[in-house]
Amino acid sequence: MNISNQKFGENAILYSLTNDNGLTMKVTNLGARIVELIVPVKGEQRNIILGFDSAEEYVAKDMYFGATIGRVAGRIKHGSFSIDEHNYQLPISPENGHTLHGGSKSFESRIWEAEIAETNEQVSVLFSYLSTDGENGFPGELQARVTYTLTNNNEWILDYYAKTDQPTLYNPTNHVYFNLTGDVTQPVDQHSLFVDADRFAVVANDTTVTGELSSVTGTPFDFRKPQSMKQVFQTAYEQNRLVGGLDHPFILNQTGFDQAQAMIIAPQKDLTVEMYTDRPAVVIFTAQFGDNGPEVRGQKLVSHGGITLETQVSPGAVEFEGFGDILLRPENPYQSRTLFKIK
H-type alpha helices, the chain: 55-61, 238-243
Check if the beta carbon of residue 35 is closer than 8 Å to that of residue 54: no
Least Cα distance to 307 among 280, 288, 281, 293 occurs for: 288
Active site residue 115: no
The one catalytic residue in 101, 175, 191, 248 is 175
Would strands 307-308 and 227-228 be described as parallel, antiparallel, or unpaired?
Answer: unpaired
Check if the beta carbon of residue 233 is closer than 8 Å to that of residue 189: yes
Burial string for 265-277 (b: 16+ CB within 10 Å, else e) reads bbbeeebbbbbbb
Judge residue 59's burial from the number of C-beta atoms within 10 Å of its C-beta, 0-12 exposed, 13-18 middle, 19 or more buried.
middle
Would strands 310-312 and 197-203 be described as parallel, antiparallel, or unpaired?
Answer: unpaired
The one catalytic residue in 57, 135, 274, 310 is 310
3-state DSSP call for residue 167? coil
Judge residue 242's burial from the number of C-beta atoms within 10 Å of its C-beta, 0-12 exposed, 13-18 middle, 19 or more buried.
middle
How far is the C-alpha of 69 from the C-alpha of 71, rounded, in Å? 7
Question: Which amino acid, residue 168?
Answer: T
How far is the C-alpha of 30 from the C-alpha of 280, rounded, in Å? 27
How far is the C-alpha of 103 from the C-alpha of 174, rounded, in Å? 15
Active site residue 101: no
Question: Which amino acid, residue 210?
Answer: T
Least Cα distance to 340 among 285, 283, 272, 248 occurs for: 272
Query: Would you name the residues annotated as active-site residues?
Result: 175, 310
